[in-house]
Amino acid sequence: MTPLRSALLWASRNRWLRASVPRWPFVRRATRRFMPGEDLAAALAAAERFRADGIGVWLTHLGENLTSLEEAQAVTDHYVDALQQVAQAGLRAEISVKPTQLGLDLDAAATLANCRRLAASQAEAGGMFWLDMEDHTYVDRTLALVRTLRNDGASVGVCLQAYLHRTAADLEALAGSGIGVRLVKGAYAEPADVAFPAKRDVDLNFLALAARMLELSRGRLGLRSAFATHDIGLLERIAALAERSGINRASYEIGMLYGIHSADLRRLAQAGHEVRCLIAYGTAWYPWYLRRLAERPANVLFVLRQLVPGR
List residues with catalytic annotation.
132, 182
Torsion of CA 86, 88, 89, 95, to 10 degrees: 10
Would you tell me how many other CB atoms lie within 10 Å of the CB of residue 122? 25
Contact 48, 89 (CB under 8 A): yes
Distance CA 206, CA 212 (A): 10
Distance CA 177, CA 208 (A): 20
Contact 225, 216 (CB under 8 A): yes
Contact 106, 140 (CB under 8 A): no
Intra-chain end-to-end CA distance of the chain, in Å: 32
Amino acid at 101: Q
Give me the half-sphere count of Cα atoms (radius 13 Å) on the Cβ side of residue 134.
19
Query: 30 CB contacts (<8 Å, ≥6 apart)?
Result: 302, 303, 306
* Cα angle value 221/137/230 (rounded, 5°): 60
